[in-house]
Amino acid sequence: MDLDLLLDTLVDKGLRRELPTREEALAVLATSDDDLLDVVAAAGRVRRQWFGRRVKLNYLVNLKSGLCPEDCSYCSQRLGSTAGILKYTWLKPDEASKAAAAGVAGGAKRVCLVASGRGPTDRDVDRVSRTIEAIKEQNEGVEVCACLGLLSDGQAERLRSAGADAYNHNLNTSEETYGKITSTHTYADRVDTVQKAHAAGLSACSGLIAGMGESDADLVDVVFSLRELDPDSVPVNFLIPFEGTPLAKEWNLTPQRALRILAMVRFVCPDVEVRLAGGREVHLRTLQPLALHLANSIFLGDYLTSEGQAGKADLDMIADAGFTVEGTDTTTLPAHRADAATGGCGEGGGGGGGCGSGSVCGPAAETVPSPAEPAPVGQRSGPEADPVAAGAGAAGSRTDLVTVRRRGAGTDLAPNA
Ligand code: SF4
């Protein structure tokens, strides 16, 4: 399809909240670097229609780090991880509240409370409930999102009663490739938790991780599945290939491809909070400001197990690019979504994310997977096995940009906010 016609069509559909076709979404990912600024400008029109020039800041607090029994290949906290990340058990409510306060003081409107693990016990839910209450008491107007893994019946309702505003549990990748990434739980488990969160009246947050060796079709599949689940927010993570994880060699992303992926997500989910999440500094590098024309939300400061750029640099970037930090007096979502009992990309459904984004739950484990481990998507056979052939583009390893978090929650050092 002619590029001008494609982009005009996608802008019209985005302004009307109409779902693009799969072919149109795939065509965005297939555009050339020569066309990049046209693609960003078109998706930027959709972003401005629904979110103006506002950027929402979110702040991660890793309540419990490492020691997970699950085997998510991208995660530094996984079973068998040899990544040298911080490992600690549950922060006390006042410790978590102190960490959250640093993010709020830095301009964060939402605090994301994340814990490693398959899912919470009822005792864990009690503990997190006390933490939510402490944070809400000490930080007026702050939104709290919990990200604790797979939920059992009744747990979402208890978190909602404790004051949680949202629940995150990411789909991460397409249903077809999910089994290559994780063997200890299924894609259907993840969908179920998103739906539980949604049904309990929590704002659903669910997103993806790009750069795991997936094909363009996989990316379009997961984003279309997200639209169907209808979360209010969609975090877009770019894999941080931690040494010590099975995906350590998966350096598949260029800054240009990362922007094309964000543009595709914006066109498919025009009126939801698209959050630029883990891996932005590593993969977008000096092109980060262009991504603000696509995403309307970012994480401030550090990630769960890796360091982000300085919080002050985030704020300077937003100001220099001509955007403004969204205040607590502004409703993030457009009125038609904010007024609805449930939010989302367009159609009805569940939502939610969870431990699993590249930002949330970082990577870990062996560089070469053992036979018992799921093979990274990029190592599977077939026409989509080669990430370059699949449209990923040439990308080089930038291990110099991956720094394990050594400050903030779980340490005696001041957080980055
Ligand atoms: S993503 Fe979550 S469930 Fe998976 S290994 Fe990491 S901490 Fe565990």
pLDDT tens digits, residue range 169-218? 999 999 999 999 999 999 999 999 999 999 999 999 999 999 999 999 99
- In a domain, residue 23? The reply is yes
- In a domain, residue 416? The reply is no
Mean pLDDT of 335-360: 51
What is the dihedral angle through the alpha carbons of 330, 334, 340, 342, rounded to the nearest 10 degrees?
-90
d(CA 257, CA 30): 9
Q: Is the pTM of this model over 0.85?
A: yes
Task: List the residue whose alpha carbon is closest to atom 2 of ligand 1.
Answer: 355
Out of 60, 64, 65, 70, give the residue to mutate to test ligand 1, the one with the largest number of ligand atoms within 8 Å of its CB.
70
**Residue 205, helix vs strand vs coil:** strand
- In a domain, residue 413? The reply is no
- In a domain, residue 189? The reply is yes
Q: Which residues are annotated as a binding site for [2Fe-2S] cluster?
A: 112, 145, 205, 275
**C-alpha pair distances (Å), 381 with each of 26, 184, 212, 376, 378:** 21, 22, 14, 11, 8
Mean pLDDT score across all residues of the chain: 88
Q: Is residue 350 a contact partner of residue 198, using CB atoms and an 8 Å limit?
A: yes
Ligand 1: atom nearest CA of 360 is: 1
pLDDT of residue 394: 66
Given a cut of 60, is residue 167 above it in pLDDT? Answer: yes
Instruction: Indicate the range of 119-123, 282-286, 400-404 predicted with least confidence.
Output: 400-404
pLDDT of residue 389: 38
The values of phi and psi at residue 179, to 5°, are -65, -20
- In a domain, residue 411? The reply is no
Ligand 1: atom nearest CA of 354 is: 2
Share of the chain above pLDDT 90, in %: 79
Q: Which residues are catalytic?
A: 68, 72, 75, 112, 145, 205, 275
Given a cut of 60, is residue 359 above it in pLDDT? Answer: no
- In a domain, residue 118? The reply is yes
Mean pLDDT of 158-169: 98
- In a domain, residue 70? The reply is yes
Which residues form ligand 1's pocket by a CB distance below 6 Å? 68, 70, 72, 75, 77-78, 116, 118, 149, 355-356, 361
pLDDT tens digits, residue range 23-70? 999 999 999 999 999 999 999 999 999 999 999 999 999 999 998 999
- In a domain, residue 80? The reply is yes
Q: Is residue 76 a contact partner of residue 305, using CB atoms and an 8 Å limit?
A: yes
Number of separate domains in the chain = 1
d(CA 66, CA 81): 9
Range of the domain at 27: 3-401
For residue 73, report the distance from its CA to the centre of ligand 1, in Å. Answer: 9
Q: Which residues are annotated as a binding site for [4Fe-4S] cluster?
A: 68, 72, 75
pLDDT of residue 368: 30
- The string of DSSP letters for 243-254 reads TTSTTTT-----
Mean pLDDT of 71-80: 94
For residue 67, report the distance from its CA to the centre of ligand 1, in Å. Answer: 9
For residue 48, report the distance from its CA to the centre of ligand 1, in Å. Answer: 34
Burial category of 60 from C-beta neighbours within 10 Å (exposed 0-12, middle 13-18, buried 19 and up): buried
pLDDT of residue 345: 54
Q: What CATH number does the domain containing 259 carry?
A: 3.20.20.70
